[in-house]
Structures are given as structure tokens and as C-alpha cells.
């Protein structure tokens, strides 16, 4: 019986010749990830194990990205716990103020994840790395603790849904529109504990940033992971982002050398969908679920108060470029707050060199240090009761970005930037 890409990666990491959907396995891990919110819980649990150290200091990444620079005493105390643990265990890949970025943009940028890897992270959007042909999934902090201690994790092998992407993208259509369309089509539990495998001739027309965005939001459809086949674009990205730290970068047996897995022709899928990319419109997810999707033309009477462009979903350089192109030489509508957040320090510098940051500031936006802040209602953009925000983030649950009576509309950077000019949700083709 054939296996999917995800099943082949899990079989290899479990030391098995094959696995089947529903099978319980213990797999070796190539990377264990935590942030400043989830890591303190994991550190507390690993201390209770009375384990002497971690399984591999090079295969753990701790990224201070949610409330950093620290917003209050509680966040400062959480970060102190992680800083001390990283120091005590000589963790190679510890990223704090000045070095950190939003974790799911930072790890690929640093070359810490590659094709064929098995990765867990105590953050639900760890599924981002499927864009590189890796199996990556979010776990709880206790599973993160076990992973840091043993280098292993238990999994129930997921079944899979196949998404056949065909055609090319129309202007202003991006990976965000594709994944919002898919979530609107199948629902927030449409891929529950399943692998979302993206295939088809349309993939060649997707940038790596598009693929990161699509994989990132697999969890919003309930998916265990999202994954793309490895092609020339994938390999070009991996080669241009080598692992520059740790012994992993030079070890011939290292996971940082890509390993390509392809689905068998007779792999079993629980469902298959074909999506013609050329037919998609800019897509908006209304409150309070990512599945509540509508084309942009249906939203033109929705007035907004705030715009957020950033996050692990849409804070990469291509996202900033499209927003800057739309805002260049124009002014944000009076009364609209616009917050732009480059996802990493490297992206921040590139945006600075290319003049994007100057464009944002001159248009009336503010530019933040890399942070998850507003996405989860942490800081840098909290909404009051009755306020509406159009955001390039990945969730719009009740109270997600502030008051329970506020509203979040999810959209692409192009739609967000266009909306900042009018004060209403706006088709970027019209500005």
C-alpha cells in the first residue's frame, strides 16, 4: 500500500519501512521549537523529569518573539526562565532581543529546518515548515519537554487530503487568498488531524513565501500539517539559507542536508480537491472564524479602525513589498492606525535597504520590531470594544486581538494596504 509524503517522513524517522494512517509511532526529531509563552511550561516539566540536560543542544530552538521586548513584569519573568535555561544548557539556537524574529519566519531563514525533517514546536503554526517538504506540527508544552529531553515524540500517523492546485495567479492574488479559499471551502475542521498535501502544476507559480503562508494556516482547517513537494524553488531556497550555526551545518549526517520524499502513486487520500488558481478573488475571512470567507467585493461597506501587516503568516519581504508598492506616494486615511511588522531582523534590514520602511512611515504607518504582539492580542495593537481591524494574521476568533466586542478580518497584505487608504475593506485593484 502506498504512502503519502508525510507518512514516508514519519516512517523514516520511526525506523520503519512503512506506516499506515492511525498507527501509533515514536519518531526521532530533527528540531524542537519553543517560544517565550510555551517554553516556560516545558522547562518546568523537564525539570520535574530530573533529566540531566537536553538530548541535543543544536536541535532545540528557543525564540523570544511573542511579548519581546518584554511588555510587562509577567512577560519579563517568563523570558528570564527561558534565558536561564538556554544558558544552563548551552542552547545553540536561542534568539532574544536584537537577534529574534517571529519564530516561523526565523527558523527557515536560519536554515534550521530543511526538506525531510521531522519537527515539533510548542506553537500551533509550526506546520509552516511543510513549505520546505518537512513534516512539522504543533504540540503542547509537555510534548515539547519530552522532545527536548529525549529527542523523540509519539504520533498517530495522519491520513491525508490532496489539494491539486492548477493555473496561475491573477494580479493581487497570493498564498493568503488560496488558503483562505480552501478553509472557506472545507471549514475549520475539514482536515481534522489530517495532512494537507498540496500538489499540481499550479505550484510552480507559487513563491516560497506563498507556500509558507499556505502551510502556516493548515492548522486553521484543523490539519495536523500542511506539506508541499520539493521542487527547484524549494531547493534554491534551502541552498540560499544554509545553517550557519552549530555542528549541524557541517555534519554529513545532519538533518540540515535535504532529503526528498515523494508520495506514492497509490497513496490513499480521504478526499481530493482541484482548485484553479486563476479563478480566485482576493478573499476576506469575516469574524469570528477563518472559514467565514467572502470575496473582497462583498466587503466594501465594512469600515475599519486598524490595519496590521505582519505575523508568521504574512511578515516576509514579498508581503512588505506588495504593501509598500500600494502605499507608495499615498497617505493612510485619517483616523486609521496602520502597524507594519517585519517578521525578522533580516527582513527588517532588507525592507530598509529597499526603501519600504521609508514608504510606510511617510504614508502614516508605524513600523515595529519583529513580534507576534498584536496577532494574539498581546500588545502593539490591542483593539477596544467595537473596533475593527483588517489583518494579515491567521486567526480572528472572538477577542483574538483585544476586546471580545472587537472584530478581526483576515486578508492578504495587498487588501490590507489598500484598505488603509480608504478606511474600508478595499480591492487592491481599485486604488
pLDDT tens profile 334-358: 999 999 999 999 999 999 999 999 9
Residues 204 and 328 in one domain: no
For residues 24 and 162, state if they share a domain. Answer: yes
The Cβ-side half-sphere exposure at 396, using a 13 Å CA radius, reads 25
My answer on whether 219 and 356 are in the same domain is no
Instruction: Please say whether the beta carbons of 392 and 308 come within 8 A.
Output: yes
Share of the chain above pLDDT 90, in %: 94
Same domain, yes or no: 101 and 233 = yes
Q: Are residues 223 and 295 in the same domain?
A: no
Domain end marker among 226, 244, 275: 275
Whole-number CA gyration radius for the chain = 21
When pLDDT is cut at 50, 70 and 90, the band that residue 246 belongs to is low
* pLDDT beyond 50 at 418: yes
CA dist 301 and 422 (Å) reads: 11
% helix, strand, coil for the chain, step of 5:
40, 20, 45
**Of 148-162, 235-249, 383-397, 415-429, minimum mean pLDDT range:** 235-249
| Section 189-195 average pLDDT | 96
pLDDT confidence of residue 255: 46
Q: 317-327 and 413-422 helices cross at what angle (nearest 10)?
A: 30
Q: What pLDDT was estimated at residue 247?
A: 53
Verify that 98 and 162 share a domain, yes or no: yes
Inter-CA distances, 21 with 155, 265, 336, 395, Å: 11, 16, 49, 28
Residue 239 counted as domain residue: yes
Q: Is the confidence at residue 395, as pLDDT, over 70?
A: yes
pLDDT classification of 51: cutoffs 50, 70, 90: confident
- Judged against a pLDDT cut of 70, whether residue 226 lies above it is answered with yes
Question: Which residue in this structure is represented by grid cell 483585544?
Answer: 402
Query: Do both 148 and 18 map to the same domain?
Result: yes
For the chain, the residue count is 431
Residue that terminates a domain, selected from 221, 253, 275: 275
Mark which of 251, 275, 299 sits at the end of a domain. 275
- With CA atoms as reference, report the closest residue to 393 among 301, 314, 292: 314
In a domain, 280, yes or no: no
Q: Tell me, yes or no, whether 244 and 327 share the same domain.
A: no
pLDDT digits (tens, 9 = 90+) for 304-325: 999 999 999 999 999 999 999 9
Residue 300 inside a domain? The answer is yes
pLDDT of residue 248: 52
Q: Are residues 290 and 374 in the same domain?
A: yes
Distance CA 21, CA 370 (A): 38
- Identify the CATH number of the domain in which residue 405 sits: 3.30.499.10
Cα separation values, 359 from 257, 350, 366, Å: 39, 13, 10
**Mean pLDDT for the chain?**
95
Q: Are residues 225 and 367 in the same domain?
A: no
- Residue pair 123/33 in contact by the 8 Å Cβ criterion: yes
Domain for residue 387, yes or no?
A: yes
The pLDDT of 115-131, averaged and rounded, is 97
How many distinct structural domains can be found in the chain? Answer: 2
Residue 227 located in a structural domain: yes
What is the arithmetic mean of pLDDT over 403-428?
A: 97
Phi/psi at 184 (5° precision): -65, -30
Same domain, 61 and 9: yes
Average pLDDT rounded to a whole number, residues 278-301: 96
The whole-number pLDDT of residue 256 equals: 74
Residue 192 pLDDT: 96
Q: What is the pLDDT of residues 247-284, one digit of tens each?
A: 554 444 344 789 999 999 999 999 999 999 999 999 99
Q: How far apart are CA 135 and CA 116, in angstroms?
A: 7
**Domain presence at residue 322:** yes
Which of 209, 134, 136 shows the shortest CA–CA distance to 179? 209
Long-range contacts of 347-355 (CB under 8 A, 24+ apart): 347/101, 347/105, 347/109, 347/315, 347/316, 347/317, 347/320, 350/317, 351/317, 351/320, 351/324, 354/321, 354/324, 355/324
- Say whether both 164 and 144 belong to one domain: yes
190 in a structural domain: yes
pLDDT at 408: 98
pLDDT score recorded for residue 181: 98
- Number of Cβ within a 10 Å radius of residue 1: 10
Question: What is the domain range of residue 98?
Answer: 5-275
Q: Give me the pLDDT at residue 52, please.
A: 79
Q: pLDDT category, 50, cuts 50, 70, 90?
A: confident
Please indicate, yes or no, if residue 341 is contained in any of the structural domains: yes
Q: Given pLDDT bands bounded at 50, 70 and 90, which one contains residue 287?
A: very high
Amino acid at each position: 500500500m502506498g504512502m503519502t509524503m508525510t507518512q514516508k517522513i514519519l516512517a523514516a524517522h520511526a525506523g520503519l519501512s512503512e506506516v499506515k494512517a492511525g498507527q501509533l509511532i515514536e519518531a526521532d526529531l530533527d528540531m524542537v521549537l519553543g517560544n517565550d509563552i510555551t517554553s516556560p511550561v516545558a522547562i518546568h516539566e523537564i525539570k520535574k523529569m530530573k533529566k540531566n540536560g537536553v538530548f541535543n543542544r543544536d536541535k532545540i530552538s528557543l525564540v523570544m518573539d511573542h511579548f519581546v521586548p518584554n511588555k510587562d513584569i509577567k512577560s519579563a519573568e517568563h523570558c528570564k526562565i527561558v534565558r536561564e535555561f538556554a544558558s544552563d544548557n548551552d542552547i545553540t539556537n536561542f534568539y532574544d532581543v536584537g537577534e529574534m524574529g517571529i519564530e516561523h519566519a526565523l527558523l527557515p531563514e536560519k536554515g534550521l529546518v530543511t526538506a525531510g525533517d521531522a519537527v515539533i514546536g510548542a506553537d500551533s503554526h509550526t506546520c509552516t515548515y511543510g513549505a520546505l517538504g518537512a513534516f512539522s506540527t504543533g504540540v503542547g508544552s509537555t510534548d515539547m519537554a519530552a522532545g527536548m529531553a529525549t529527542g523523540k515524540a509519539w504520533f498517530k500517523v495522519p491520513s491525508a487530503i490532496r489539494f491539486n492546485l492548477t493555473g496561475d495567479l491573477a494580479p493581487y492574488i497570493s498564498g493568503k487568498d488560496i488558503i483562505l479559499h480552501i478553509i472557506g471551502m472545507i471549514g475549520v475542521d475539514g482536515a481534522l488531524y489530517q495532512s494537507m498535501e498540496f500538489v499540481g502544476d499550479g505550484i510552480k507559480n507559487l513563491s516560497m513565501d506563498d507556500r509558507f503562508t499556505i502551510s502556516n494556516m493548515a492548522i486553521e482547517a484543523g490539519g495536523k500539517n500542511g506539506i508541499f513537494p520539493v521542487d527547484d524553488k524549494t531547493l534554491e531556497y534551502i541552498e540560499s539559507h544554509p545553517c550557519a550555526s552549530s555542528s549541524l551545518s557541517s555534519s554529513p549526517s545532519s538533518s540540515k542536508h535535504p532529503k526528498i520524499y515523494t508520495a506514492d502513486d497509490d497513496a490513499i487520500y480521504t478526499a481530493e480537491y482541484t482548485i484553479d488558481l486563476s479563478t480566485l478573488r482576493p478573499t476576506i475571512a469575516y469574524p469570528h472564524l477563518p472559514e467565514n470567507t467572502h470575496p473582497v467585493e462583498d466587503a466594501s461597506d465594512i469600515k475599519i479602525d486598524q490595519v496590521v501587516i505582519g505575523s508568521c503568516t504574512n511578515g516576509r519581504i514579498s508581503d512588505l513589498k506588495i504593501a509598500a508598492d500600494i502605499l507608495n506616494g499615498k497617505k493612510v486615511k485619517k483616523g486609521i492606525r496602520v502597524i507594519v511588522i517585519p517578521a525578522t531582523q533580516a527582513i527588517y534590514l532588507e525592507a530598509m535597504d529597499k526603501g519600504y520602511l521609508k514608504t510606510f512611515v511617510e504614508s502614516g504607518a508605524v513600523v515595529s520590531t519583529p513580534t507576534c504582539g498584536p496577532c494574539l492580542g498581546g500588545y502593539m495593537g490591542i483593539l477596544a470594544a467595537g473596533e475593527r481591524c483588517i489583518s494579515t494574521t491567521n486567526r480572528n476568533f472572538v477577542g483574538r486581538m483585544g476586546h471580545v466586542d472587537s472584530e478581526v478580518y483576515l486578508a492578504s497584505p495587498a487588501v490590507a494596504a489598500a484598505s488603509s487608504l480608504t478606511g474600508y475593506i478595499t480591492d487592491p485593484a481599485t486604488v
